Structure formats: C-alpha cells, structure tokens
Structure 1
Amino acid sequence: MKSVTRSLRILEAVAQHQPVTVGELTKLFGLPKSTVQRTLVTLNEAGWLRANRKDTTRWEIGARVLAVRPAALQGSSLFAAAREPMIRLRDTVNETIHLSVPDALQGMVVVDRVDCTHAVRTFHAIGDTSPLHATATGRAVLAQLPKADVDELVERGLEAFGEATPTDAGALHAELDRIREDGYSVNRNQYRPDVCAVAAAILDEDGTPLATIAVSMPESRFDPGHLPELGLLVGETAKEIAARRLGA
C-alpha cells in the first residue's frame, strides 16, 4: 500500500510540475533516485506517464490520464449542459461537433463528440489531445487567458504541424486579438491537413475559459463565405452552454 501511495504522489507531482526530471522529483520527495526512477518507469509502462518528446529526461502526464478525464467529466455540469446544444448545432450545420477542455497549457482534450451524417467527415476520438496554438479550440482558449500565460506558451516554442501553423509570436498574438474581436476562432489546415474548424470558448462566471465548442469539417466543405454565420452559431452555442451550466 505504501508503494501505491508513493506512486500516486509522484503522479500528482508530475502533473503539477511537468515536464520534470528524476532529480527534481528526488529533491521534492527526499527519496532515493533509484526509487523515483523505478516508479516513473512503472507508471510509464502503464500509460500514466510519458517522456517529453523534446527532452526525454523529463516526464509528463501520459495518455491514460487524459483518457480517464473525459469519463470523469461525463457526470459534470459542463457535460450535461453541453449535450443538447451540441446536438442542436450538429442538426443545424450537419458537421461534427466537439466539446474540448484545456489541460493547463499542455493542450486541449476532446471530452464529447456529436457526429454528422456525411460519409466523409472529420474524426477525433474522445480523449484525443491537440496543441493550443495550432487549433481553433486551443486558440479560442488562449484568447481568453492572461498575456503572461500566452507568453509562457510562446517561450516553450510553437511547433509547426504544417505550413499554415502559426509559429511566430507576433502572428499568434494578432490572431488572438482577432478572436477576441470576432468571438470565434478558425483553423484551416493549421494542425491536420484538410481539416478545418470553427470554435468558441465556454466561459465561467469570472471569464475563465472552461471548455470550447467546435464545428469540424473537411477542407472540401469549408466555405469562407459562410464563416461569419458559422462563427455566430458557434459563439451563441458556447454562450448557451455557459448559461445552462450556471442554471440560467
């Protein structure tokens, strides 16, 4: 039982300080380096932790934790408030609708999805993660965060997933200004090729972004001429979910 408790404490510490090294965890807990290393390897093998892609000496939360999170959210007020408006939005536009939540500055996690009826459609599994700067859902959240948080993300480096991915700090800040003005964000092939999305943030009563609602579609069905109308629909759906969550 003692080893289980230790593993959970190390898992929590990684979640709080990620990406973190074995040495940093050793100092934090006052445990032998071999004990911490063995625990990390065990959690990695189970899928709860993973090595950071850019620095494999550092550890971060793994996919299993992110996959568990959506299941835990299914009984939450956010999940309950979002379901009916998501279905209504899908019926209006006949495209796939996603509900995603931010995992701090690590990225976005898909927690619910309503599929369209098209044979050709976009697909994100529940629990899928995506970067903040390269997606409509992520930038919808970034536009509502303090500048210091955005600067921290920029300092970590903005990875390019394609030619359209915003990797310049100035361009990203300009895009976030536009999102705040328009009320919605747009992704056109900036993360996955031939995948487009329009998203809006779902805000808490104090203006904190809790989640995003997004319409996702193949590039072949993306019509820039309908973007203002689609953005308005997504923005109104986000506001409705926020109000339903608060019981308004």
Structure 2
Amino acid sequence: MSQGRPPLRTIQRTFAVLDVLWTVDGAGPTEVAEQMDLPKSTVYEYLRALASTGYVVQADGKYRISYKFLSMGGRMRQRNRLFQIAKPELRKVAMETGELVNLNIEERSKSIIVHQEEGDQSLNLGTYPGMETPLHSHAAGKVLLAHLPEDVLERILDGHLEQVTDETITDPATLRTELDQIRDQGYAVDWDQQVPGMGVVSVPILIDGRLFGSIGVVCPTGRLEDTSYQNDLVRKIRETANTITVNYKYGN
C-alpha cells in the first residue's frame, strides 16, 4: 500500500466506536451515534460487526468491550521473553523493598507498563499492565527516552510535552540536559512529576547496547527524598537489571 494513501476510514471508525464504548463503559447504538455524530444505522452496523468478532458483547440493549482484549493482551505478554525473565526478579525487589516495581517499555512514544509487582507498603495508584503515560513525566519513562535513537528523541522533544503536574519538565532544553545526565549516571530519579506525592527511581535494561525496557520503583516522595534510601534502591535495581540482562542473553 502506498505510504501517501490515507488510512481506511472504516478501520478508523471501528476503533473510534471501541474508544466510545470504553469511555462510556457500554452504550446503545443511539448514544454511540450521538457521541460520534454519525447516523444510528451506521453505528449499529459497526456494533453488530464488532459483536460478531467477539471483541464486543451485547446485553440489555447495550454494547460493551469484551474480555477478549484481556485475553489478547495476556497472550502478548506471555510471548514476551523480557517479561518472562524479568517477572521473578521484579517480585524479589518488591518483596525486599515493599515498594511498587514496574517493568516498562517504549511504544508509540509512550511509556507502557508491561508488568508490575506490589510490595507490602506499595502506593495504591490504580496503575495496571498496559497503562501508558508520557515518557517525559517520570523517571522510568525518562530512562527510556534517554536511550532512544536521536531522530526519535528529537521528534518527541519537538512535539507537545504535556504538563501533567506543576513539577513536570516540559522545556525541551531542560529535559535534554536531564537526559544527558541520566545517560551519564545510568539511572533517573524524580518525584511529583507524574503524580503529586509519587517518586520514581529507574534504570534501563540494555542488552548489547540495545534498549529493551526500564525497571522503575515507585514510592512516596518523602521516602525517595532520603538520599540513603534512594541510593539503596538504585543499587538494588541496577543489580536486578544486570541479572535480567545476563539471563536474557544466556538463559534458555
């Protein structure tokens, strides 16, 4: 297909219907049609087609997204070698620190949580595998951002950098300076930039110089401001990243 040809409108509309169903948590054809400013008959055909695939279910006159998406996401994750190798290592960190520990990757210029493990004193932030956040808004994303190819980094920095909280760095020059520092020191630490009161310390997972993901430990800002505690976390997740790297390269 020619790169200059616009995407198929039917495909775009299909996913727009799914977005509406997700946003309103289930709706009938009339409500979806109003949300999309389309004829009810057109929307009904889309909903009927989606229901035939199993990705949408219908009950009591309403359509909602089915758990088939959860099944697909679960299968995707199980196929991911990094997830398989990192999962037990992240569990160890969560048990030893009591904190929330995440495995993150970059996709579509976003930070995506692939897996998370909770410790006995974890913050309850409502995060979940598959959740996406701006790369520039927390340490686990900035570690990824710091190791992206230069052309990709330039495109992201030249785009809109969302002001998530009052502390989020959105100035490209300031952010680039921080990314240079992250590359030099091998880790990132920040707080209050994605969620007020939340701090993150993170290291990259680099295998033969190639970025695979990042490990992030999430904890209250007050705990992370303690330099000694911060250093302990950095040491621990550096060791964890090294273990994951070795097991990925040489394990079965």
The reply to whether TM is greater than 0.5 is yes
Write out aligned runs for 1:20-99 (5 A): 27-28=5-6, 36-47=8-19, 68-69=72-73, 71-99=75-103
Q: CA deviation at 1:120?
A: 4.7
| Equivalent residue, structure 2, for 1:143 | 146
Write out aligned runs for 1:227-246 (5 A): 227-246=230-249
In 2: Cα distance, 1:120 partner to 1:235 partner: 22
| Equivalent residue, structure 1, for 2:173 | 170
Structure-1-length-normalised TM-score: 0.73
| Equivalent residue, structure 2, for 1:59 | none
Which secondary structure state, in structure 1, belongs to the residue aligned with residue 246 of structure 2? helix
Do the aligned partners of 2:98 and 2:122 also contact (CA within 8 Å) in 1? no
Do the aligned partners of 1:198 and 1:230 also contact (CA within 8 Å) in 2? yes
Q: Provide, for residues 63-93 of structure 1, a one-character-per-residue CA deviation record: whole Å limited to 9, x for no partner.
A: x9x9755640223221111012111111221
* 1:101 partner amino acid: I
* 1:238 partner amino acid: A
In 2: Cα distance, 1:120 partner to 1:145 partner: 29
* 2:156 partner amino acid: L
Q: CA deviation at 1:102?
A: 0.9
Which secondary structure state, in structure 1, belongs to the residue aligned with residue 193 of structure 2? coil
* 1:217 partner amino acid: C
5+ residue gaps, structure 2: 23-66
Q: CA deviation at 1:149?
A: 1.9
Which secondary structure state, in structure 1, belongs to the residue aligned with residue 79 of structure 2? coil
Structure-2-length-normalised TM-score: 0.72
1:183 to 2:186 alignment: yes
Structure 1's consecutive aligned runs of 4 or more residues displaced over 3 angstroms after TM superposition are 66-71, 119-123
Q: Provide, for residues 131-174 of structure 1, a one-character-per-residue CA deviation record: whole Å limited to 9, x for no partner.
A: 11111111111111233222111111211111211111111111
Which secondary structure state, in structure 1, belongs to the residue aligned with residue 195 of structure 2? coil
The 1:146–1:37 alpha-carbon spacing in structure 2 relative to 1, beyond 3 Å, is closer
In 2: Cα distance, 1:93 partner to 1:80 partner: 21
Which secondary structure state, in structure 2, belongs to the residue aligned with residue 46 of structure 1? helix
Q: Give me the identity figure in percent.
A: 23
Q: CA deviation at 1:127?
A: 1.0
How many residues align structurally? Answer: 207
2:115 paired residue among 109, 112, 115: 112
| RMSD (Å), alpha carbons | 3.1
Q: Provide, for residues 166-214 of structure 1, a one-character-per-residue CA deviation record: whole Å limited to 9, x for no partner.
A: 1111111111111112211113010112111111111232x22111111
Which secondary structure state, in structure 1, belongs to the residue aligned with residue 130 of structure 2? coil
Which secondary structure state, in structure 2, belongs to the residue aligned with residue 92 of structure 1? helix
Q: Provide, for residues 201-241 of structure 1, a one-character-per-residue CA deviation record: whole Å limited to 9, x for no partner.
A: 11232x22111111111224323312222212222211211
Do the aligned partners of 1:203 and 1:209 also contact (CA within 8 Å) in 2? yes
| Equivalent residue, structure 1, for 2:198 | 195
In 1: Cα distance, 2:101 partner to 2:172 partner: 29
Do the aligned partners of 2:105 and 2:214 also contact (CA within 8 Å) in 1? yes
